[in-house]
Chain A
Amino acid sequence: MDSATPLGSTVALPAEWRDFFALTKPRVMTLVIFSGLCGLLAAPGEIHPILAFTAILCIAVGAGGAAALNMWWEADIDAGMKRTSKRPLPSGRMDPTSARDFGFALSGASVVIMGLGVNWLAAAILAFSIFYYAWIYTVWLKPRTPQNIVIGGGAGAFPPLIGWVAVTGNITLMPVLLFLIIFMWTPPHFWALALFVQIDYAKVGIPMMPVVAGEKSTRRQILIYALLLLPVTLAPWWIGGTGWVYGVSALVLGLIFVALSIKVGLRESGPDDKMKPEKRLFAYSVLYLFVLFGMLAGDRLATVQGWQ
């Protein structure tokens, strides 16, 4: 594989393995692995630990493949933003063909191994999630509509659904609710980030909500999604899919989320604003999802142990 980094006049250095690893967006992958694992642990039924490990590995590798394809497609956009300009492709440490082939290889391998090792329904949903992120979100929606984050949020919402289906082999209301939780969580999470990096998005022409609809509208929508998220997270408890361990946790975590969103939703930023409430909401939203899904798995453990 060639690299875009010139060495002398005719030879390019091969990209380092660390650059390939960076293409998989390891930070995002931790959340993908965690939510997938929680979906798997929360599902009723049993799965052999080796197959459970295989399922999580395939979810992670599939997400990494989709991320690599995303970086391959968006190399030009990434080059124009401070936050992403040091990625392997815009910084010239890797050539686009290597990134593309790496993305396709990871995506294909993850789907095939999931199908052969775990079950084909989980593999089909994994394949669709990769297509959803790499094509529907990255290529189609992100450059066209300010609703890109809302619909693109679906891509990140698949891991717990896939984890659940890996155990049960079928889709019921519970895994769909887990999907909906991440789907509803993504807009306030990402728009909080977009509010304090909006100059970057405007520069590269991505129609991010604060750029297109304005800051005020974005703030209102963050608040609306945060308010809608609360009942969605309580729905698994309400339908009897979880016990009080999850239910009470979801209520407390959700109320804090709403409180932080109110601060963001009802204010207006001034000149040289430090955007502290937005940064606080963004940081909390990551913690929120980790704890919420952790409690989902904890709830299942409490039920199995007969503590609730």
Chain B
Amino acid sequence: MMNDPKQNTHLGKEETALYRARQRSRNKVLGIVLGSLAVLFFAISIVKIAAQVNH
């Protein structure tokens, strides 16, 4: 299991900073991916609905 660096006495300041930086970087990318997926699903829905209406 991942230890929380806040509770871990083995981590120094620099290591904690590095740990947090990686977490932030990953979260940013995950946020962008999820946001893009939401936009894509919305666009697909509009295209599908428009196709049904035209039929």
Chain A residues in contact with chain B, CB under 8 A? 1-2, 7-17, 48, 50-51, 54, 57, 116-117
Extra contacts besides A8-B15, A11-B5, A13-B22 (8): CB < 8 Å: A8-B10, A11-B10, A11-B19, A14-B19, A14-B23, A15-B22, A17-B29, A50-B44
**Interchain nearest-CB distance for B45 vs A (Å):** 9
Task: Tell me the complex Cα distance, A167–B30, Å.
Answer: 30
Q: Contacts of A116 on B, CB cut-off 8 Å? A: 44
Of chain B, the residue at the smallest CB distance from A118 is B44
Cβ contact within 8 Å between B25 and A7: no
Give B1-55 interface residues, CB cut-off 8 Å to A: 1-3, 5, 8, 10-12, 15, 18-19, 22-23, 25-26, 29-30, 40, 43-44, 46-48, 51
21 A-B pairs with CB atoms under 8 Å apart are: A2-B1, A2-B2, A7-B15, A8-B8, A8-B10, A8-B11, A8-B15, A10-B8, A11-B2, A11-B11, A11-B15, A12-B2, A13-B19, A14-B26, A16-B25, A17-B25, A17-B30, A50-B43, A50-B44, A116-B44, A117-B44
Cβ contact within 8 Å between B10 and A16: no
Cβ contact within 8 Å between B44 and A54: yes
Q: Contacts of A9 on B, CB cut-off 8 Å? A: 10
Of chain B, the residue at the smallest CB distance from A16 is B22
Of chain A, the residue at the smallest CB distance from B46 is A50
**Interchain nearest-CB distance for A2 vs B (Å):** 6
Q: Contacts of B11 on A, CB cut-off 8 Å? A: 7-8, 11
Q: Contacts of A7 on B, CB cut-off 8 Å? A: 11, 15, 18-19
Q: Contacts of A48 on B, CB cut-off 8 Å? A: 47, 51
Of chain A, the residue at the smallest CB distance from B26 is A17
Task: Tell me the complex Cα distance, A209–B5, Å.
Answer: 49
Task: Tell me the complex Cα distance, A14–B18, Å.
Answer: 10
Task: Tell me the complex Cα distance, A15–B3, Å.
Answer: 14
Cβ contact within 8 Å between B47 and A50: yes
Task: Tell me the complex Cα distance, A51–B50, Å.
Answer: 13
Q: Contacts of B30 on A, CB cut-off 8 Å? A: 17
Task: Tell me the complex Cα distance, A154–B12, Å.
Answer: 50
Task: Tell me the complex Cα distance, A54–B45, Å.
Answer: 12
Task: Tell me the complex Cα distance, A104–B2, Å.
Answer: 21
Which of B1, B10, B51 has most A Cβ within 10 Å?
Answer: B10
